[in-house]
Amino acid sequence: MKKEIYYWIVLIVIILGTAFYVRLNYNPKTSVSLNFSSSASNTTIYQYQQATLELQVLNNGPTVKGLTVGLSLNGNLTDIYNVSLPTGKGTMIKITHTFGTPGIYNFTAETDPTKLYNNINQASTSITVSVLPPEKAEPQTLLPANQTDFYASNMTILGYGISSYLNKNYSVSQTKLSNILPVNIFMDRLFTIGGSYIENISTASAEYNNGRGLSLWFDGYLKPSIIGVSAQAENLTVSNQTIGTQPISLIRVSPNVTTCSWYSSGWIKTFSWEGNSTCAEILKENPTGISENNTLKKLLTFQNNTISLENFYEKNNTSSRYGNLIVTGKDALAYYTLWDNYTENHTCYGLTDTFNSSSFCSVYMLQNSGSLGNVSLIRTTEYLGKYNISVFSITNSSTNPFNQVSNNIGMIQNLKLQGDSINFTSGLSNTCDFTGVVSCGTPTFANSSISLNLTNIANQTIRLNSIGCFMSGIGPGSLINKTLAAGASTQITTECYNNSKTINAIPLNLQLRILLNYTENNVSDTMQGGALITI
């Protein structure tokens, strides 16, 4: 019985082996032809664009089932397709590919790429696609002449995010997109939602006697129709027009603001106009560009360990300004601005420093909401010869801001600009007040603590029990337990808190709430006062 089972197993193996051999060697050979559509090779493709290739597969032999067709890109197998075709029939395989970098890309398609069968007449076809980088960003070429003010910037999408944060939270004017507020709002929504698909942004804006213009270009993986789609999503009016041979979308952003949008040479380009004319009417005029002040640009140079996220250039009738947003280390970013002419203001409403015969003014900037936020923004300025140099340094709030002032001064000095430094004088004074049994002298603030000189203005002795200092929210107070005779004074020091955390900052217009608990005639009460800290 065991021998019979063994013979049956051997017989089955022989039959299967013979069938497989016949399948590989004696089936009629297939005859399949492959051919790429030539449209992709004849079309100019730019970086970040998606190309569509059409691979035609034609069966010139017997019926094929499950034929594998492989696709290789620059010699690397990327996809395998299964094809079944009756005799004389064909099919089309649509292939899409997005190009992240410029270069020459060679696509090759071949039958049976793994060489599994020997009864197939191997067929292959290739196509080469040239991918170009976007043209040089020159948005200023779309602006009309006779500008009264001009501003241009080039930034990565990360640079835009930081600049937008500074403008929204600290009103740093040079970081705003333009002076056309409705366009700023519209584009900010687009860049916020689609930011992960955007690479670079380049802008040029100008002021005119009859309006304002903004030319904004950006590249990335978004489709050219994104501006129109975004406008329709916000229920804005969109119409199609043609300027010369270029089709454009015209968007009515607000009653007196229009934006024209189109795709050209690797960029999604927009031109916006605020005024009585539309963007299309302005574009039909003869635009003229404006050149940057390369002298300022060359002066603003940085060390090799810095990464630039944005640069900007601004010009009016009297002066020019150039700036750069750079990464200066693990915990800090710096926004340099350099004026070649300016109105001097020798009064410093912050911390003054003199170092190597140079005078610096540093200001701790609160957010527009009045809160300190999760980051600290410190501006340090020096007037040097004909230049006004400022550094806006963004750091983590947990770092010591006094150390950052030293870093800011060092970054200005690293520019190695020549000239006489103009001295600053402080324009700050601190105040405090109470309504009740005590008066308050000029306070001081240092190392998170406020020092108050309190005078008993009651006609009898009082006892000071405890005191608390808060910017917002609550926090722990300090015990005093001190008796104060009528007319007597005492110095009290307590830590100040913002939402239960000590205030670790160089203050600027720091509004503080003071709660003083006291006892008079054996009755305890809490009196509220306030302090304004400016230095």
pLDDT value of residue 6? 62
The helix or strand, by DSSP H or E, that contains position 42, with its residue range, turns out to be: helix 39-42
Q: How many CB atoms lie within 10 A of CB 86?
A: 10
User: Cβ(131)–Cβ(45) under 8 Å?
Assistant: yes
Locate 451 and state its tokens.
């020092």
Q: Is the pLDDT of residue 38 over 90?
A: no
Quote the strand ranges of 60-173, DSSP E: 64-73, 76-85, 90-98, 103-111, 120-121, 124-132, 149-156
Locate 416 and state its tokens.
């190695």
Candidate from 315-319, 468-472, 521-525 with smallest mean pLDDT: 315-319
**Mean pLDDT, residues 455-481:** 89
**Mean pLDDT, residues 474-479:** 85
How confident is residue 43, by pLDDT bands cut at 50, 70 and 90? low
In the chain the first and final C-alpha atoms are separated, in Å, by: 105
Locate 166 and state its tokens.
């500074």
**Mean pLDDT, residues 244-257:** 94
User: Cβ(251)–Cβ(270) under 8 Å?
Assistant: no
**Rounded Cα–Cα distance for residues 155 and 199 (Å):** 9
Percent pLDDT > 90 in the chain is: 40
CA–centroid distance for 193 within its chain = 12
**Mean pLDDT, residues 320-348:** 72
**Rounded Cα–Cα distance for residues 109 and 127 (Å):** 9
Q: Is the pLDDT of residue 506 over 80?
A: no
Residue with more model confidence, 328 or 471? 471
Residue with tokens 């340090």: 380
Highest mean pLDDT among 97-101, 339-343, 471-475: 97-101
Q: How many CB atoms lie within 10 A of CB 101?
A: 9
Tens digits of residue pLDDT in 174-231: 778 889 999 999 999 999 999 999 999 999 999 999 999 999 999 999 988 999 999 9
Q: Is the pLDDT of residue 237 over 80?
A: yes
Residue with tokens 């002076």: 179
Collapsing DSSP states into helix, strand and coil, what is residue 283? helix
Of the CA atoms within 13 Å of residue 151, those in its CB half-sphere come to 17
The helix or strand, by DSSP H or E, that contains position 450, with its residue range, turns out to be: strand 449-456
Q: Is the pLDDT of residue 300 over 70?
A: no
Q: Is the pLDDT of residue 406 over 90?
A: no
Q: Is the pLDDT of residue 119 over 90?
A: no
**Mean pLDDT, residues 486-514:** 82
Return the closest-CA partner of residue 118 out of 34, 23, 33: 23
Residue 226 sits at φ, ψ, to 5 deg, of -60, -35
**Mean pLDDT, residues 102-129:** 85
Q: Is the pLDDT of residue 103 over 50?
A: yes
Q: Is the pLDDT of residue 435 over 70?
A: yes
**Rounded Cα–Cα distance for residues 402 and 425 (Å):** 19
- Sign, CA dihedral 159-165-168-172, equals negative
The helix or strand, by DSSP H or E, that contains position 360, with its residue range, turns out to be: strand 358-365
pLDDT value of residue 430? 85
How confident is residue 26, by pLDDT bands cut at 50, 70 and 90? very low
Kindly list the distances between the CA atom of residue 111 and the CA atoms of 30, 32, 265, in Å, as whole numbers in the listed order.
Answer: 10, 8, 36
